[in-house]
Chains A and B, each alone.
Chain A
């Protein structure tokens, strides 16, 4: 399957890529073929800063079950610490 399924979301924060830390602008979330993970399809997230070029990227390729568990864990941690959306 080649789903092309892709969503973009604006993010703020920092990520550490091949050349060190850089500010994040967007996260690209897609379900498609991985480059490295030993699976036919993975849930992929690329944290990007377009202004710093294509290599300003933090990439993860996750088993779909792991991706769901990670998403739930992130929400659970945010809920426990009672951080409202939009808070810095």
Chain B
């Protein structure tokens, strides 16, 4: 392979990792093939599942020089099922338990750190429910950076009767282990601008390093290029901020 081709090549594949309590779960791994050292990114998929759009995001990080892995958080409920069927099965079971999420992300981090060329630095990024889970992981595990893209129910209260095994995470703010980038839409209602402001205050009070950006004209899921919620200006600026943030915190 010519040098220029080698420098830009990536490899993307489905693999198996050890998740919570040693469970073997499916994950999608994408990584650069050049001989350099690379930071790692755990991509936490949204509630609609371990889908094509999230795998595309995972490959994007590899194309930008990071080893990226997306664990299938719905693997246990529906091994081998299509992402939409698996997401429905997970929803019917009450969603992904927080403790299991932390265990699965921990396994994903270990898989990244074991790769040849790993520089030992790892971040999480998550979208929608994954935004909340990225924050949860950053408060539960030693990380170098974390990105929360419009995660609901980090603050506030989960309405009763939803049947979901989740709650707010305000009690964990003091345990945040790394700098946090938060990207939100001003027209979102979950999280609302008021909830984003509340989380900002809690992080300030706890003396944490964070950067929150809220975009005009954008609601929930503005990064989702295959959905009507996509907002090109917010998404482009969001991606620029993400790569700037990772460049600062995941470099050698």
Considering only residues 69-97 of chain B, those with a C-beta below 8 Å from chain A are 77-78, 81-82, 84-89, 91-92, 95
Interface residues on A, range: 20 to 34
Bin chain B's interface residue count. Answer: 35 or more
Cβ contacts under 8 Å, B227 to chain A? 33, 40
**Is B92 a contact of A8 with CB atoms below 8 Å?**
yes
Q: Is A11 an interface residue (CB 8 A)?
A: no
Q: Cβ of A78 < 8 Å from any Cβ of B?
A: no
B81 engages A2 (CB within 8 Å): no
Residue B107 interfacial (CB < 8 Å): no
Pairwise interchain contact A50-B88, C-beta atoms closer than 8 A: no
B76 vs chain A, min Cβ distance (A): 11
The answer on a CB contact under 8 Å between A48 and B219 is: no
In the complex, are the beta carbons of A35 and B92 less than 8 A apart?
no
Please encode chain A, from 1 to 24, with 1 for each CB lying within 8 Å of some chain B CB and 0 for all others. Answer: 111111110000000000000000
Q: How far is the CA of A39 from the CA of B220 in the complex (A)?
A: 13
Given the contacts A1-B188, A4-B47, A40-B228, A54 and B86 also touching, CB distance less than 8 Å = yes
Across the interface, name the chain A residue whose C-beta is closest to B131.
Answer: A2
Are B92 and A48 touching (Cβ within 8 A)?
yes
Check B209 for interface membership: any CB of A closer than 8 A.
Answer: no
In the complex, the answer to whether A59 meets B219 with C-beta atoms within 8 Å is no
Instruction: Specify the chain B residue showing the minimal Cβ separation from A36.
Output: B84
Known contacts A40-B221, A59-B88; decide if A5 and B162 are in contact (CB<8 Å).
Answer: yes
Would you give the shortest CB distance from A30 to chain B, in whole angstroms?
Answer: 7
Q: Does A51 contact B (CB under 8 A)?
A: no
Q: Is residue A38 within 8 Å, beta carbon to beta carbon, of the partner chain?
A: yes
Closest chain B residue, CB of each to CB of A39: B228
Q: What CA separation (Å) do A2 and B220 show in the bound complex?
A: 7
A1-B219 in contact (CB<8A): yes
Q: Which of B47, B91, B129, B150: most chain A CB closer than 10 A?
A: B91
Q: Mark B214-252, 1 if CB is under 8 A from A, else 0.
A: 000001110000011100000000000000000000000
B9 sits at the interface (CB 8 A): no
On whether the beta carbons of B47 and A33 are closer than 8 Å, the reply is yes
B88-A48 in contact (CB<8A): yes
Q: Are B190 and A3 in contact (CB under 8 A)?
A: yes
- Chain B residue with Cβ nearest A26: B92
A1 touching B189 in the complex, CB below 8 Å, given contacts A6-B164, A40-B228? yes
Interface centre among A3, A30, A35, A38, by most B CB within 10 Å?
A: A35
| Assembled-state Cα–Cα distance A2/B95 (Å) | 13
Determine how close the nearest CB of chain A comes to the CB of B189; give it in whole angstroms.
Answer: 5
CA distance A39 to B230 in the complex (A): 11
Chain B residues at the A interface, C-beta cutoff of 8 Å: 46-48, 77-78, 81-82, 84-89, 91-92, 95, 128-129, 150, 152-153, 158-159, 161-164, 188-190, 219-221, 227-229
A interface residues with partner B (beta carbon < 8 Å): 1-8, 26, 28, 30, 32-33, 35, 38-40, 46, 48, 50, 53-55, 57, 59
